[in-house]
Amino acid sequence: MTVVRVALPVPLRQHFDYLIDPALPAQVGCRVRVPFGSRQLVGIIWQLAPADGFAVDKLKPVLALLDSRPVLPELLCRLLSFAADYYHHPLGEVLISALPALLREGRNLDDYQPKAYALTTQGQQLSADALKRSAKQHALWQALHKHPLSESVLLQQHRRPTLKQLLDKQLVAEHIVPATPFAAPPKPVTGLKLTSAQALAVSAVTQAFGRFERLLLEGVTGSGKTEVYLQSIASLLCQQQQVLVIVPEIGLTPQTLARFQARFDVPVLCWHSALSDSERLHCWLQASSGAAAIIVGTRSALFLPFWRLGLIIIDEEHDQSLKQQDGFRYHARDLAIKRAALQHCPILLGSATPSLESLHNALNKRFIHLPLPDRAAGQALPRFELVNLKQQVLQYGLASQTLATVKQQLALGHQVMLFLNRRGFAPALSCQECGWLTECQRCSAFTTYHKQSRQLVCHHCGASKAIPRQCGSCGSTQLKPLGQGTEQLEENLQQLFPDIAITRLDRDSTRRKGALHQALDEIHQHGARLIVGTQMLAKGHHFPNVSLVVIVDVDGALYSSDFRAPEQLAQLITQVAGRAGRGSSGGTVLLQTHYPEHALLQDIIQNGYAAFARSALHERAQTCLPPYQQLALFSAQAHQSQHCQQWLQQLAECARQFPALQLLGPIPAPMERRAGYYRWQLQLYCTSRGAMHQALTLLLAELASWPLSRKIKWQLDVDPTDLS
Ligand code: ADP
Ligand code: ZN
Ligand code: ZN
C-alpha cells in the first residue's frame, strides 16, 4: 500500500492521508471515495506518496478510486491552488466547488459519455435464426451486423430494453465514443464593417493570441463591443482554439448568446445555474473534449476544463455578479486573469463602465487599453437632463416635465423606459395614525409590500408573511403603502396611459419560466410602449426603439457610507441611460432628483463615466482605498451581538502585531441584523499584498484555537466588493 494525500470538502485547512493500492492508476486530480469519521466523502488526490506521510499503520485505505484520468487537469489544479491560497479558503472546498454537482457526488464519468454499440465476437458468430423468437432482438442484431451504431441513432429505431437483452446475452458490447474536437472553419466568417476604433481593438486582440496579455475594452454603450468580441474570435476558431465568454447573468441577455450562435457555424454552449445537473456535466465534457468551440457562461464557467483555450472574454467586467458572495468568495475576473496567465492566452475585459480596479491597471499600462469612444453606427450618446424634484408637485412620483416628455415620445411611436431600483408595490406599509412601519422580525430592514401576491416580503432574508390588518403598535387599521416600487409604478402608469402597453422587468415579473423571454419579445416588437424595471434594465440590452429613459429615483443611493457606492451608482446610471437612443432616433435621459447639485450627478451628466471614473480613482488614491490598498474583511455573525464584537476585538488585538496593517473596526455592519443574526465587521487595509497575505495566514492559524470561533459564524472576504 502507498499513501495518497487527499483534499476533502470540509472547512478545515488541512489535507488528509489515506492508503491506496499501488497497482491502481491513481493520479493527482483524480477523485477518490474515502471514509471520514462516520461518513464517506468524495475528495481529490492532491499528492502521491507525500514525503511527510503518516505512519502507514495509522491510515485508512481509500474505498474507491473514481477516475482513471484526472477530472481536474494540472492547469486547473494550479489555478485552484492559487485561488485557495489567495482567498484563504480551504483547498478541499475550492477543488470540489470547481466540479459539476454530479462529479462532486462521485458519479462515474463514463455513465455520461456518449456510447456506441457493436456486436461481440459471439454476436457476430451467431446463426441467423438464433434470435428468431424475438423479432425485436433479431432486428437490432441485424442492424448491428451492418455496422456499429451510436446510442442516439440506435434508440431512434430500437428500444432500450431490447438493447439491454442483447447486452445481457453478451451478443453486444458497449463502447465509449471519444468525443472529437469541433471542426475548425476553413476561413474566418466576416461580420460588420468595423469602425476604426473597433478595428484597432480587434487587431490588438488577435496580435495577442498565443501569449498572456490583458486588454481592457472601454467602449461606451452601443459602441459595438460585441462586434469586437465576434471578430476577434473568428480567426481563433480557424486555429481550432476554444473561447470562453463570461457574462454576468446569461438569463437576462439571451441576445448575447444568440449573437454568438448566429455568427459562427461551430458548437456554442451555454453554462449557467439554471441548467440541470446533467446538462452541466454535458457542457463540462464538451469543453474538455474540445467538442464545444465557444462557451458563454456565468462566473463558474471559469473552472471548466478546456481542451485548448485560446481566449477569455469577460463582458461587463465591472458587474458585481462576477464576485461570489458566499462560501468561496472569489472574483471571477481576477481568477480569469490568473487562468489566462497559466494558459498563456489573452484575456479581454469589456465594459462601458469599467471597474476602478481595471481602469487603474489600464492607466498604469499593466493592461492594454482599447477605447471605443463613440457609438458604432454613429448615433449620439444619450443627452442627460436633471429634473429637480424640489418644490414640485409629483404625480405618482413623476414630475410634470417628466410626464410631458414621456407623452411626447410615446406620441412619436417610441418606447420609454422607466427605471426604479425597488421591486414590489411599496418599500413598506405605514400606519397613518402613529407612523409605525412594517419591519422584518429578523433583519434591520423594512418589509416590502407586494400587492399582487398579497404579502409582506423581506428582500434581505426572504421571509414573507400575510398583510397585517392592524398597526403593530397602536392597533389602527389605517395602513397605507409608503413610497413606490415597480409594481405600483406599473399600475399608476397604466392609469395615466390606458392605451399604452406596459412591460415590467424585475425579479418578480420574470420569475415564471419563459416570462423573461416573453417580456423581451414584447419589447422587441416595435411601437409605443412603456418599459418599467429595476437594475435588470441595466444589463446590456439592445432595444433600438427606446428614445427616452427616466431614472425615477436615485436619491437613496447618493448618500451611502460604502466607499464603492459612488462607483456603483455611476455604473448603474450610465448603463441604464445607455439603453436610450440606440436606434435611429436620438436618446434622452431624465434623471429625477432632490439633489440636482450633487457632485456625483453633475460629474456623470456633464463629463460622462470615463471622466467620473478617473476623478474617482484620484480620490481613492488620496484616501488610500482600493485599488491603492489591499482590503480584507472579517465579518462575524451571532445571535448575541457582543459575541461578534468580542471575537473581532480579539482578532483586532492580534492584528495589531502587524504594523503594516491598518484596522477599521470592529464596527457593526451597515445592516446590523440579518436573518436573525447580529453582524459585525473588521476591515483590514494594507499597502502590500504580500504583507496582507502573511498577516491573514497567521491570523487564521491563531483564531482556529479560540473557543469563541466555534460559537459564532465568521467569514473572511479578500478584496470584498460588498461591505453591507
Ligand atoms: P455594446 O455592447 O457596446 O453596447 P452592441 O455590441 O450591442 O454594443 O452594438 C450596438 C449596435 O451597434 C448593434 O446593433 C450592433 O449590431 C451595431 N454595430 C456594432 N458594430 C457596428 C459597426 N461596425 N457598424 C454598424 N453597426 C454596428
Ligand atoms: Zn399605528
Ligand atoms: Zn429579513
In a domain, 184, yes or no: no
Same domain, 686 and 573: no
Same domain, 348 and 495: no
Round to whole Å and give the CA distance between 648 and 411.
Answer: 60
Q: How far, in Å, is the centroid of ligand 1 from the Cα of 542?
A: 9
Q: Which ligand is nearest to the CA of 435?
A: 2
Q: Which ligand is nearest to the CA of 446?
A: 3
Name the domain count of the chain. 5
Ligand 1 atom 23 nearest Cα: 194
Ligand 1 atom 9 nearest Cα: 224
Same domain, 359 and 243: yes
Taking residue 603's Cβ as centre, other Cβ atoms within 10 Å add up to 18
Determine the pLDDT at residue 360: 97
570-594 confidence digits (pLDDT tens): 999 999 999 999 887 789 999 999 9
In a domain, 451, yes or no: no
Secondary-structure percent of the chain, ordered helix, strand, coil, rounded to 5 = 35, 25, 40
In a domain, 459, yes or no: no
Same domain, 614 and 677: no
User: To test the ligand 1 pocket, which listed residue (230, 259, 316, 542) has its Cβ within 8 A of the most ligand atoms?
Assistant: 542
In a domain, 500, yes or no: yes
> Which set of grid coordinates corresponds to residue 194?
468595423
Round to whole Å and give the CA distance between 175 and 154.
Answer: 13
In a domain, 492, yes or no: yes
> Which set of grid coordinates corresponds to residue 4?
495518497
In a domain, 724, yes or no: no
80-110 confidence digits (pLDDT tens): 999 999 999 999 999 999 999 999 999 999 8
CATH of the domain at 31: 3.40.1440.60
DSSP classification of residue 165: H
Ligand 1 atom 4 nearest Cα: 222
**pTM (predicted TM-score):** 0.93
Crossing angle of the two packed helices 565-577 and 599-622, in degrees rounded to 10? 140
Same domain, 98 and 27: yes
Determine the pLDDT at residue 127: 84
Same domain, 166 and 210: no
In a domain, 458, yes or no: no
Q: How far, in Å, is the centroid of ligand 2 from the Cα of 482?
A: 14
Averaged confidence pLDDT in the chain = 93
Q: Which ligand is nearest to the CA of 584?
A: 1
CATH of the domain at 229: 3.40.50.300
Q: How far, in Å, is the centroid of ligand 2 from the Cα of 199?
A: 64
CA dihedral 475, 481, 482, 488 (to 10 degrees): 170
Which residues have beta carbons under 5 A from ligand 2 (an ion)? Answer: 431, 433-434, 436, 471, 473-474, 476
342: left (phi over 0), alpha (psi -120 to 50) or beta: alpha
Residues having CB closer than 6 A to ligand 1 are 192-195, 198, 219, 221-227, 376-377, 542
- Bridge partners (DSSP) of residue 368 are 215
Q: Which ligand is nearest to the CA of 462?
A: 3
Same domain, 8 and 97: yes
Q: How confident is the model at residue 663 (pLDDT cuts 50, 70, 90)?
A: very high
Same domain, 81 and 105: yes
480-512 confidence digits (pLDDT tens): 999 999 999 999 999 999 999 999 999 999 888
Ligand 1 atom 27 nearest Cα: 376
Last residue of a domain, one of 618, 646, 668: 618
Q: Which ligand is nearest to the CA of 231?
A: 1
Determine the pLDDT at residue 54: 67
Q: How far, in Å, is the centroid of ligand 1 from the Cα of 659?
A: 51
Same domain, 548 and 684: no
Ligand 1 atom 21 nearest Cα: 376
How many percent of the chain have pLDDT more than 70?
Answer: 99
CATH of the domain at 690: 3.30.70.600
Determine the pLDDT at residue 8: 96
273: left (phi over 0), alpha (psi -120 to 50) or beta: alpha
Average pLDDT score over residue span 396-417 = 95
In a domain, 406, yes or no: yes
Q: How confident is the model at residue 253 (pLDDT cuts 50, 70, 90)?
A: low
Q: Which amino acid is at 653?
A: E
Q: How far, in Å, is the centroid of ligand 3 from the Cα of 460?
A: 5
- Bridge partners (DSSP) of residue 268 are 294
Determine the pLDDT at residue 585: 76
Same domain, 255 and 360: yes
CA distances from 25 to 29, 69, 182, 183, 288 (A): 12, 8, 29, 32, 20
Last residue of a domain, one of 68, 84, 110: 110
User: To test the ligand 1 pocket, which listed residue (217, 220, 227) has its Cβ within 8 A of the most ligand atoms?
Assistant: 227
> Which set of grid coordinates corresponds to residue 570?
455611476
321-367 confidence digits (pLDDT tens): 999 999 999 999 999 999 999 999 999 999 999 999 999 999 999 99
Last residue of a domain, one of 94, 110, 126: 110
E runs forming strands in 28-84: 31-36, 39-48, 64-65
Average pLDDT score over residue span 665-689 = 96
Residue with cell 397602536: 474
Determine the pLDDT at residue 252: 65
601-639 confidence digits (pLDDT tens): 999 999 999 999 999 999 999 999 999 999 999 999 999
Round to whole Å and give the CA distance between 233 and 315.
Answer: 14
Q: Which domain holds residue 146?
A: 114-176
Q: How far, in Å, is the centroid of ligand 3 from the Cα of 674?
A: 6
Ligand 1 atom 13 nearest Cα: 224
Ligand 1 atom 15 nearest Cα: 224
479's enclosing H/E stretch is: strand 479-482
Same domain, 312 and 239: yes
Same domain, 494 and 532: yes
For ligand 1, what atom is nearest to the CA of residue 193?
23
CA distances from 327 to 7, 88, 93, 94, 95 (A): 17, 11, 9, 9, 13
